[in-house]
């Protein structure tokens, strides 16, 4: 079955910085299994703001191993509808709709194969990396972590105290390098190609996995430095909060747009829906009121993932899918346009 939304209460709100809050949810006992997650994964939240229903993805910053509640950290973006609402208006006791955790940006804490991690975060990109840091340090007793975290200044560091505490508690296995754009201290700068090249040369880094989450430029810089050091792509894991730069419309514009009627299976029901040439399969589902699951609509999350049972589609971007998922026939419906008349999309698959 496709993932569904469940009503969940906000149990705690903590201000992290002037522009960021941590929101915790108490998951009822009967839903604990449904909301189980791996460090690094995200949840999808559905809110009704001024009569408009909106879905957004937020990474879990809590650890499934040590935290009872599920917690997200939300940074207010300029003119951002949901992040502003969450920062300014959401209250303890409010009921929101949450879709269970999802996503391919995750660590398998039970694997002994990985013994060192380099995490590179910028701004709110710390959220999944905090979950990973806590979980790895608590569960993988031999594993080492280097976290490079870029921010404007000290006051804009989300989870400042939590990170300091982890640094003190696990001083032999956890190295934190804060890079601040505006500071008089030593670590002044931005996560540029030059700075990352300097920071990523330590011998500690051999045979480790790299997790990147932050602004586009930071992720691009980090990836370029890692590729220059011949780090295999399979060791580099990325989580985008905004549209990946690799996203390209070139291919879709070279394809003659056509209207198609496709077959869709969702929550056990089957539908024939019209997909107009300019729409993605997801947009067509929304227009046809079948309530398909989705969050980011930019290929950064995989909430709208479905299995293509027959026919052909074109995807503008596939960032959030793994190679295995592509191989198995999964598509991101927010990016997919039908190319043949026999398209059958199975969200429950």
Ligand X SMILES: Cc1cc2nc3c(=O)[nH]c(=O)nc-3n(C[C@H](O)[C@H](O)[C@H](O)COP(=O)(O)OP(=O)(O)OC[C@H]3O[C@@H](n4cnc5c(N)ncnc54)[C@H](O)[C@@H]3O)c2cc1C
| Contact positions vs ligand X (CB under 6 A) | 42, 56-59, 72-75, 77, 79-84, 124, 127, 239, 241-242, 296, 300-301
Locate the DSSP E strands across the chain: 6-17, 20-26, 42-49, 52-59, 70-75, 95-102, 116-122, 144-151, 174-180, 209-213, 236-239, 260-266, 269-275, 305-310, 313-315, 330-332, 336-338, 344-346
Using the minimum distance from each CB to ligand X, give the nearer residue, 106 or 144.
Answer: 106
The helix/strand/coil state of 56 is strand
Minimum distance of ligand X from residue 82's CB (angstroms): 3
Query: For ligand X, which residue has the nearest CB?
Result: 80
Hey, CA dihedral for 213, 219, 223, 226, is it positive or negative?
A: negative
Using the minimum distance from each CB to ligand X, give the nearer residue, 27 or 72.
Answer: 72
Minimum distance of ligand X from residue 218's CB (angstroms): 12
Using the minimum distance from each CB to ligand X, give the nearer residue, 265 or 283.
Answer: 283
Using the minimum distance from each CB to ligand X, give the nearer residue, 120 or 200.
Answer: 120
SS (H, E, C) 116-177: EEEEEEEHHHHHHHHHHHHHHHHHCCCCEEEEEEEECCHHHCCCHHHHHHHHHHCCCCEEEE
Instruction: Let me know: does 105 contact 60? Beta carbons within 8 Å.
Output: no
* Cα dist from 248 to 219, 227, 268, 290, whole Å: 18, 21, 33, 28
Minimum distance of ligand X from residue 288's CB (angstroms): 23
- How far, in Å, CA of 96 to CA of 48, rounded? 9
**Could you tell me how far CA 341 lies from the centroid of its own chain?**
33
Using the minimum distance from each CB to ligand X, give the nearer residue, 40 or 285.
Answer: 40
- How far, in Å, CA of 83 to CA of 157, rounded? 17
Minimum distance of ligand X from residue 248's CB (angstroms): 18
Using the minimum distance from each CB to ligand X, give the nearer residue, 20 or 205.
Answer: 20
Minimum distance of ligand X from residue 132's CB (angstroms): 13
Minimum distance of ligand X from residue 321's CB (angstroms): 13
Using the minimum distance from each CB to ligand X, give the nearer residue, 116 or 303.
Answer: 303
Using the minimum distance from each CB to ligand X, give the nearer residue, 86 or 195.
Answer: 86
Minimum distance of ligand X from residue 189's CB (angstroms): 21
Residue 84 CB coordination number (10 Å): 16
Minimum distance of ligand X from residue 317's CB (angstroms): 12
The two tokens of residue 205 are: 């880094």
């Amino acid at each position: 079955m496709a993932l569904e939304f469940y009503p969940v209460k906000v149990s705690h709100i903590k201000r992290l910085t002037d522009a960021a809050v941590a929101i915790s949810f108490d998951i009822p006992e009967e839903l604990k299994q449904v909301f189980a997650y791996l460090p690094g994964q995200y949840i999808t939240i559905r809110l009704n703001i001024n009569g408009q229903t909106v879905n957004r993805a937020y990474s879990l910053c809590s650890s499934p191993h040590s935290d009872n509640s599920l917690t997200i950290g939300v940074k207010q973006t300029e003119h951002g509808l949901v992040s502003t609402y969450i920062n300014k208006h959401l209250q303890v006791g409010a009921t929101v709709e949450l879709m269970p955790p999802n996503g391919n940006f995750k660590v398998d804490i039970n694997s002994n194969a990985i013994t060192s991690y380099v995490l590179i975060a910028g701004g709110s990109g710390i959220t999944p990396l905090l979950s990973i840091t806590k979980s790895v340090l608590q569960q993988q007793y031999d594993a080492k972590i280097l976290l490079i975290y870029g921010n404007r200044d000290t006051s804009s560091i989300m989870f400042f105290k939590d990170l300091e505490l982890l640094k003190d508690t696990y001083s032999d296995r956890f190295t934190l390098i804060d890079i601040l754009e505006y500071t008089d201290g030593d670590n002044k700068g931005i996560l540029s190609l030059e700075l990352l090249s300097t920071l990523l040369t330590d011998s500690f880094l051999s045979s480790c996995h790299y997790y990147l989450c932050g602004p586009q430029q930071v992720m691009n810089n980090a990836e370029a430095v890692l590729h220059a050091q011949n780090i295999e792509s399979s060791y580099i894991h990325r989580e985008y909060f905004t549209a990946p730069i690799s996203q390209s419309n070139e291919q879709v514009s070279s394809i003659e747009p056509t209207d198609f009627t496709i077959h869709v299976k969702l929550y056990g029901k089957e539908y024939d829906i019209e997909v107009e040439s300019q729409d993605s399969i997801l947009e067509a589902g929304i227009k046809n009121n079948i309530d398909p699951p989705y969050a980011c609509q930019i290929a950064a999350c995989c909430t709208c993932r479905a299995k293509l049972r027959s026919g052909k589609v074109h995807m503008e971007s596939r960032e959030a899918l793994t190679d295995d998922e592509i191989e198995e026939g999964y598509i991101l419906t927010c990016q997919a346009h039908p190319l043949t008349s026999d398209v059958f999309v199975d969200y429950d698959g």
